[in-house]
A and B are shown apart, each in its own frame.
Chain A
Amino acid sequence: MPGPTPDVDDDTPSDDSDDGVRIDMISGARMDGLTGMEKIRLILDGVRDGNIVILEEGLSPDEESKLIEVTMTEISPDDFTGIEIETYPKAEAGDQSFLDKLMGRESTQKLTVIGPANQIETLHKDENLISTLVSRK
């Protein structure tokens, strides 16, 4: 069972949306200790507050699938229209051992940017660069 959803930082003032856009950069170490649903909750809670969430190590394909599914259930008219998500394209190199594949261990280390669909627009993306335009609410 997933535990309570952790806040990114309880000490940070949250009502600062008039002044700018908050960016949460979440380390791989921080995400390692969370269950799949806790990760998704952490991301969506931040994005629904209008924040941009940057994950150092991204999500596994299964977690990405669940992120899309949960995002869909939370979309509501005039409130939340979904997410924009960008990662570097996956390296095609065989970076996963046979044992990793057999055991379902996936290599997920890819920086990922997630934001509210109505505030973030991808301008350019390639293997080495993600360029996004972020607007205030």
Chain B
Amino acid sequence: MGLLTNLKDSISRVTDGLFAADEPKRIGIYGPPNAGKTTLANRIARDWTGDAVGPESHIPHETRRARRKENVEIERNGRKVTIDIVDTPGVTTKVDYKEFLDHDMDKDDAVRRSREATEGVAEAMHWLREDVDGVIYVLDSTTDPFTQVNTMLIGIIESQDLPALILANKTDLPGSDVQQIANAFPQHETIPLSALEGDNMDEVYTKIAEYFG
């Protein structure tokens, strides 16, 4: 019974992919908190639609709801790709409201923010299992990529057979180490960029067209 169900699901995934070829692809921007996901989402949205997706902040869990920017048309080498960008909350296995108290918040605000953050992470995990067609995984290239959350998330993405592009963000900062990210996930291509400064976005768009077109 389980075998038949799995086979049916596999066939369904393939046929869904074939018949939905003209639909915009929902591309989830995932990664740990403070990797620069919203900065990237805003950069892509501004470059191709003129609008932003959401506010950016150095405080962790600024993005607490998955936010979607629909019908972003990216044109590369004569090829047009239409994607819906889904900016997701940073994934973590723990949220302690006390960490927000360091950012000039009173306890009520910190508790509310942590509650919203937990709901947002749960929602992001649900999106990943059910509702995205591809993933842009954003990492802060100044921090150690060998974390459990990164390992688990990449494993989950791979198990869903989703196309995934790994971006090593914040190359404008001292201490950026792109090679460390490439070494951590050698099965994937790693593209360096600074979403804040707009550095190397040409290559990012070329890869988006290549991976998700």
Contact = CB atoms under 8 A, between A and B. Distances in A.
Nearest to B128: A65
A75 B91 contact: no
A87 to B, nearest CB: 7
B94 A82 contact: yes
Contacts of A64: 152, 155-156
Contacts of B111: 77
B159 A75 contact: no
B148 A72 contact: no
Given A87-B151, A103-B10, A65 B93 contact: no
Interface residues of A, number: 33
Contacts of B125: 65-66, 68-69, 72
Contacts of A125: 146, 148
B114 interface: yes
B66 interface: no
Contact of A104 (B9, B91, B122, B156): B9
B3 interface: yes
A73 interface: yes
Interface of B: 3, 6-7, 9-10, 91-97, 111, 114-115, 118-119, 121-122, 125-126, 128-129, 146, 148, 151-152, 155-156, 158-160, 186-187
Interface of A: 60-62, 64-66, 68-73, 75, 77, 81-87, 89-90, 92, 102-106, 117-118, 122, 125
The 10 A-B residue pairs whose C-beta atoms are closest, nearest first, are: A82-B94, A117-B94, A61-B159, A72-B122, A72-B118, A81-B96, A69-B125, A61-B156, A104-B6, A61-B155
